[in-house]
C-alpha cells in the first residue's frame, strides 16, 4: 500500500530505488513508495514535495554524469510506479498523467492483462528469435492486426521493435512491391529518428540537426493544416489535394512514387487533423496511380482517436498501416500490416531482425489488445473527447493565446499563438506546461513550432482525475 509522504531537508534516501526499504528517508520524512503499479494505485493527485523533489534531483545528478546529454526529459521526476491515470515519483508525488508515455500506455501502466501475460511468458521463454524458431504469440499478434486494421481484404503483418523500424520496413516493402524509388511525405510529419525516418521527418531541430546526410528519394509536400492553410480551413482539403497531386506530377512523376506516407492525424508535428475529404482524396489518387498509401498510425492508432485506427474515421483503407506505441502496453513492439500481395512480395529473409516480435512483447500486445476490446477503449477514448473538448473550448474562449482546439477522442491539443493572429508562441506553451507540471499534471508539448500543448491521457483514466487535470490546465492558462 502506498503511504503518505512529507519533506524535509535533513538527508536524502541514497542508493538505487529498488534497494531502498519501502519506507526510506527523504529529508526528515519517511516516504513509502508503492511496491506495485497498475490500476490499484490510489487514483489521486498528491503533491508532497517541490517538483522535482529531492530524491528525483539526486537521481538527476547521477543521470547527468552517466547518461548522454542528447536525451532530454519533459519532466525530470523519476518514476517509482504508475497505473490507471497516475504516475508516482520517487518522492511520493502522484501526478495526473495526460501523456501516457507519448501515447503508449493507453491501457494504463502495468495493466492487469499485460502483467499477467508477460509474467506467464517470461517464465516460459524470453527469446528464440522468430527467424530461428517461431512461436505462436507472434502469429496471434499478426492475426489480430490483420483483423483490426482497416479493410477486410487479405492481409499479412510483420513485427519489429520500434515505430521507426516499422516505418522503414513499410517503405522497404512498398519499394520492393512497386519497383519504384520515391516516397512522398508531408510538412510537419514525424516518422522517427533512424536515418531513413529522419529523412521522412520534417522538423530539423531537435530531430535532424547535424545528423545528415539523409536518405534520398524523399519528397515533401504541404500538409492540409486547416489553421494555417493560406486559403482558409474551408478550402484546405481541395486546395491541398490540388497542390500535392500537382507537385507529385511535375516534380516526381506518379510512376516513380512507391509510397505516400502520412499520419492520419499528425502527432509530433502538432496534432494536425486534416479536413474531411482530404484523406479519402489522397487514397483515391494513390489507388489511381498504383502508389502504396502507408498510414503511419503509430501515434493515432489502437483506440486513441475513438476508433481502432484514425483512418477508420472516414473509412479510408490504407495499403499498409504501421503500428507501435499503444500496441503492447509499454513493451517495445511495432508492426507493418497490409495487403497480402504487397507484404508477400518480399523474398524470404528480406524482412526481420533479432528482436522483432519478441515473445514477451507479443504477450504484452495480446494482453493490451484484449483489454482494448473487452473494455471498449475506443468508446472510452470517445468519452474522454466528449468531456475534454468542451472544457478545452471553454478555456480557449477565455484565452486569447489559444488559436485552435483540435483532435479526436483521447488525442487532443490546443495551439498557442500571440494574441490577435496565428504567430506561434512556444514560450507561452512552455510556461503553461511548466505550470501544469508544478501543479502535478503531466502534459506534453509538440508541433513544428513547439507551440502546441497535447493531451494523451490513458484511455482508462478516471473521470475525476480528468476533470481535475482540466481544472489545473484552466488555472495555468488564467490571465493569458
Task: State the residues that interact with ligand PLP by CB under 6 A.
Answer: 102, 162-164, 167, 190-192, 263, 267-268, 296, 298-299, 324
Nearer to ligand PLP, 360 or 402 (CB): 360
Q: What share of the chain is helix, strand, coil (3-state, %, to 5)?
A: 40, 15, 45
CB of 161 to ligand PLP, least distance (A): 8
Nearer to ligand PLP, 440 or 458 (CB): 458
CB of 53 to ligand PLP, least distance (A): 28
**CB distance 261 to 294 below 8 Å:** yes
CB of 393 to ligand PLP, least distance (A): 25
Count CB atoms within 10 A of the CB of residue 317: 19
Q: What angle do CA 282, 336, 275 make, to 5 degrees?
A: 25
CB of 348 to ligand PLP, least distance (A): 26
Q: What is the DSSP string of 182-232?
A: EEEEETT----SSHHHHHH----TTTTTT--PPPSSEEEE----GGG-TT-
CB of 418 to ligand PLP, least distance (A): 27
Nearer to ligand PLP, 24 or 271 (CB): 271
Nearer to ligand PLP, 91 or 296 (CB): 296
Q: How many residues does the chain have?
A: 480
Element (H, E) at 452: strand 452-455
**CB distance 390 to 405 below 8 Å:** no
CB of 299 to ligand PLP, least distance (A): 4
* Cell reading at 322: 504501421
CB of 323 to ligand PLP, least distance (A): 10
CB of 68 to ligand PLP, least distance (A): 17
Residues 202, 206, 210, 211: is their CA dihedral positive or negative?
A: negative
Which residues, in sequence order, are CB contacts of 314 under 8 Å at separation 6+?
Answer: 276, 277, 279, 280
> Residue 23 has what DSSP assignment?
E
Q: What is the DSSP string of 252-304?
A: I-GGGEEEEEE-SS-STTT---PPTTHHHHHHHHHHHTT-EEEEE-TTTTTTT
Nearer to ligand PLP, 86 or 324 (CB): 324
> Residue 248 has what DSSP assignment?
I
Cβ density class 404-432: b for 16+ within 10 Å, e for less: bbbbbbbbbbbbbbeeeeeebbeebbeeb
CB of 167 to ligand PLP, least distance (A): 6
Nearer to ligand PLP, 102 or 434 (CB): 102
**Cβ-closest residue to ligand PLP?**
163
Nearer to ligand PLP, 27 or 332 (CB): 332
Count CB atoms within 10 A of the CB of residue 464: 13
Nearer to ligand PLP, 94 or 162 (CB): 162
Rounded Cα–Cα distance for residues 397 and 390 (Å): 10
CB of 319 to ligand PLP, least distance (A): 17
Nearer to ligand PLP, 58 or 296 (CB): 296
Nearer to ligand PLP, 24 or 190 (CB): 190
Amino acid at each position: 500500500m502506498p503511504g503518505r509522504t512529507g519533506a524535509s531537508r535533513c538527508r536524502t534516501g541514497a542508493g538505487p530505488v529498488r534497494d531502498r526499504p519501502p519506507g526510506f528517508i527523504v529529508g526528515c520524512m519517511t516516504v513509502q513508495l508503492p511496491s506495485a503499479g497498475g490500476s490499484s494505485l490510489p487514483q489521486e493527485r498528491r503533491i508532497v514535495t517541490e517538483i522535482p523533489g529531492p530524491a528525483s534531483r539526486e537521481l538527476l545528478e547521477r543521470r547527468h554524469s552517466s547518461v548522454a546529454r542528447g536525451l532530454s526529459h519533459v519532466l525530470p521526476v523519476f518514476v517509482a510506479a504508475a497505473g490507471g491515470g497516475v504516475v508516482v515519483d520517487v518522492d511520493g508525488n502522484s501526478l495526473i498523467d495526460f501523456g501516457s508515455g507519448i501515447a503508449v500506455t493507453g491501457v494504463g501502466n502495468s495493466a492487469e492483462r499485460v502483467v499477467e501475460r508477460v509474467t506467464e511468458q517470461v517464465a516460459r521463454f524470453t527469446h528464440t528469435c522468430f527467424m530461428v524458431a517461431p512461436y505462436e504469440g507472434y502469429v496471434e499478434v499478426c492475426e489480430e492486426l490483420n483483423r483490426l486494421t482497416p479493410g477486410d481484404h487479405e492481409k499479412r503483418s510483420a513485427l519489429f521493435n520500434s515505430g521507426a523500424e516499422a516505418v522503414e520496413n513499410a517503405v522497404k516493402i512498398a519499394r520492393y512491391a512497386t519497383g519504384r524509388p520515391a516516397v512522398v511525405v508531408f510538412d510537419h510529419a514525424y516518422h522517427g529518428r533512424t536515418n531513413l525516418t529522419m529523412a521522412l521527418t520534417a522538423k530539423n531541430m531537435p530531430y535532424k540537426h547535424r545528423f545528415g546526410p539523409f536518405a534520398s528519394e524523399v519528397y515533401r509536400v504541404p500538409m492540409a493544416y486547416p489553421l494555417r492553410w493560406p486559403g482558409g480551413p474551408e478550402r484546405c482539403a481541395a486546395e491541398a489535394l490540388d497542390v500535392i497531386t500537382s507537385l507529385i506530377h511535375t516534380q516526381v512523376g506518379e510512376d516513380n512514387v512507391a509510397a505516400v506516407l502520412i499520419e492520419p492525424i499528425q502527432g509530433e508535428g502538432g496534432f494536425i487533423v486534416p479536413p474531411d475529404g482530404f484523406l479519402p482524396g489522397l487514397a483515391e489518387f494513390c489507388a489511381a496511380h498504383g502508389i502504396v498509401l502507408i498510414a503511419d498510425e503509430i501515434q493515432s492508432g489502437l483506440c486513441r482517436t475513438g476508433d481502432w485506427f484514425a483512418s477508420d474515421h472516414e473509412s479510408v483503407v490504407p495499403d499498409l498501416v504501421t503500428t507501435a506505441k499503444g500496441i503492447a502496453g509499454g513493451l517495445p513492439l511495432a508492426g507493418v500490416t497490409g495487403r497480402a500481395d504487397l507484404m508477400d512480395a518480399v523474398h524470404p529473409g528480406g524482412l526481420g531482425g533479432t528482436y522483432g516480435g519478441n515473445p514477451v512483447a507479443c504477450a504484452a500486445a495480446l494482453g493490451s489488445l484484449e483489454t482494448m476490446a473487452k473494455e471498449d477503449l475506443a468508446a472510452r477514448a470517445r468519452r474522454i473527447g466528449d468531456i475534454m473538448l468542451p472544457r478545452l473550448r471553454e478555456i480557449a474562449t477565455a484565452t486569447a493565446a489559444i488559436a485552435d482546439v483540435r483532435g479526436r477522442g483521447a488525442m487532443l491539443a490546443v495551439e498557442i499563438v500571440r494574441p490577435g493572429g496565428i504567430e506561434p508562441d512556444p514560450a507561452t506553451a512552455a510556461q503553461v506546461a511548466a505550470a501544469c507540471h508544478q501543479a502535478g499534471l503531466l502534459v506534453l508539448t509538440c508541433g513544428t513550432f513547439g507551440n502546441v500543448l497535447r493531451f494523451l491521457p490513458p484511455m482508462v483514466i478516471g473521470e475525476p482525475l480528468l476533470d481535475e487535470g482540466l481544472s489545473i490546465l484552466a488555472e495555468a492558462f488564467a490571465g493569458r
